[in-house]
Structure 1
Amino acid sequence: MKPIQDLIYSPVVKTRDAELKGLEQLSSSVKDKILPVYELTKSRKSSRAPDGDIFKRMKKIAEIQQDRPFVLDLCTDEKYINPQIEQLLDESRGYSYWLGFLNIHKNLNIIPMVHLYDDEDFEEVESFVRSAVVDFQVLAVRLPFDLDDIEHYVAPIARCYLRQ
């Protein structure tokens, strides 16, 4: 993986058609300098996928990124989610569905997003991080915007890394 400090920009994009087409149009030299944060959304509805299929989105991300690293997050906007995404957001068993989905796509250069919510006790988050650090070199964290104590959120994640 290219050193993250060499990447100069991290656009946050939903995996909607227009945004993916925009990234697809960038030159290879530009793509080599960015670390996109993809918020995974459902695909367009079709007769084969009436709820939209997230695997179509992953295929498109793979085409755009090739072997370049990217952060993969899950969109939580009700307009863009489907039952597949809702299942991936399920925190039970250490976000086991999210971890399973990431492992299906392990051949891509994914940096998984750790999901944190203000009301969490971190047991499920710590379980996810302990499992994810085995298969992924780097994890990303999106923190709530109104934090009073960042250490409260980051410490449980850091503990998992220190145990490695």
Structure 2
Amino acid sequence: MTTYLPIIRSRAAELRGLKELPSPTLSKLFPIVELTRSRRTSKNPNGDIQKSVEAICDIMEERPFIVDLTSLASLQNAEFGQVLDDADGFKAWTDFALASLPDQCVPVVHLLEPFELQPFQLEVRRLRKKFSRVAIRVPTSYRDFNELLQACDQAFSNLADVVLTLDAGYVNQNSVDGAVPRLAEMLSAINGRKFCNVSVASSSFPNSVVSAGGEDDVGDFSLNEVLLWNQLHARFPWLDYGDYAAIHPLDFTGTVTNWVPRVDVMLDDTFYYHRYRRSDGGYVRAAKEARRDNRYVPLSSWAQDNIQAAADGAPKGLSPSFWIANRVNFHLARQVARVGR
């Protein structure tokens, strides 16, 4: 059975979407959590990473999850520069993991490029003092993948203690065709090695639906991450599924514009949206149009309940964050159902 390993950043909206899954659905996920700075308050002025750890632990409870650190500058603070210091085999990271992460966590082993064997072995040895499994997340641009695989053969007596994720990042219509052969090359190089899980992760969710080609009030897009996985899974049937939980994977660049109320409906391999300015009906109209759209496929979930409430004229949230959480929740629930068929 396919395991679903979504990459989820510890921002409030993404965590809310995760939290609102029913327990049986949440238990079917093996999420890769990217720690970000936490929400700044008077008692937490720096947005300490430890608060993000506490937030995800409150949701996951005793369930296992993978822990990484975000590489997006917009979601970091000064603490990241310290914890991500690569000196002495990423000692700062291993010290943080050993002190701050609960036992059920699966910490990521950070990599140097070009690959260096001794720092890798040192980092693995430290993390294995506490954690039964570790994870390795490799971007498709990483040049030393074969050397990394050989190092895994040396560092682990049992590769079933390693979760491997190949990360293709943002895959739009122009780049997905190039991502498939590169991922196939990497998967072929695994050559029978029996890791705990091997997944690919990517996201085609655009930074702006209108700039990416949608209309101002309505549009739809293919979920290239699903289409990419389908192609690879046909060749590598042991491959698990991953994505970015319907979130754009890159840092925001460009001009900040006013948010236009939008309701996203996540389907198996596509999504569509309805979008109307407040003066033109806002979330209520967007939800009504989304719900009556002939593409709508019902799915019992917190997200569907919210869309129905808004369509009935009583939206439970009016902030962008709330509706991002709604999209994340809808997508996670939909993909759990898809991969479980």
Category of TM-score, reference length = shorter chain? 0.7 to 0.9
1:61 Cα offset (Å): 0.8
1:93 paired with 2:88, answer yes
* Cα offsets for 1:116-155 (capped at 9, x unmatched): 2432323222210122123211111011212455221222
Q: 3-state DSSP class of the match of 1:38?
A: strand
User: Structure 2 vs 1, CA of residues 136 and 114 (structure 1 numbering), >3 Å: closer, same or farther?
Assistant: same
2:37 partner letter: K
Structure 1 segments (4+ residues) deviating >6 Å: none
Cα root mean square deviation, aligned: 1.9
Structure-to-structure mapping, 1:113-132, within 5 angstroms: 113-132=108-127
Contact 1:67/1:108 (<8 A) preserved = no
Query: Which residue matches 1:145?
Result: 140
1:8 paired with 2:3, answer yes
Identify which range, 17-26 or 114-123, moves more after superposition: 114-123
Match of 1:33 among 10, 20, 28: 28
Listed as ranges, the gaps of 5+ residues in structure 1 are 1-5
Listed as ranges, the gaps of 5+ residues in structure 2 are 159-341
Q: 3-state DSSP class of the match of 2:30?
A: coil
Q: TM-score, normalization: structure 1?
A: 0.86
Q: 3-state DSSP class of the match of 2:34?
A: strand
User: Structure 2 vs 1, CA of residues 72 and 13 (structure 1 numbering), >3 Å: closer, same or farther?
Assistant: same
- Equivalent pairs, count: 158
Match of 1:79 among 74, 96, 107: 74
Q: Percent identity?
A: 30
Contact 1:67/1:109 (<8 A) preserved = yes
Q: TM-score, normalization: structure 2?
A: 0.44
Contact 1:16/1:41 (<8 A) preserved = yes
Contact 1:12/1:36 (<8 A) preserved = yes
Contact 2:53/2:101 (<8 A) preserved = no
1:137 partner letter: S
1:98 partner letter: W
Identify which range, 27-36 or 80-89, moves more after superposition: 80-89
Identify which range, 139-148 or 149-158, moves more after superposition: 149-158
* Cα offsets for 1:97-126 (capped at 9, x unmatched): 211211123434100101124323232222
Identify which range, 135-144 or 43-52, moves more after superposition: 43-52
1:43 paired with 2:38, answer yes
Q: 3-state DSSP class of the match of 1:134?
A: coil
Q: 3-state DSSP class of the match of 1:152?
A: helix
* Cα offsets for 1:42-61 (capped at 9, x unmatched): 01222333331111111111
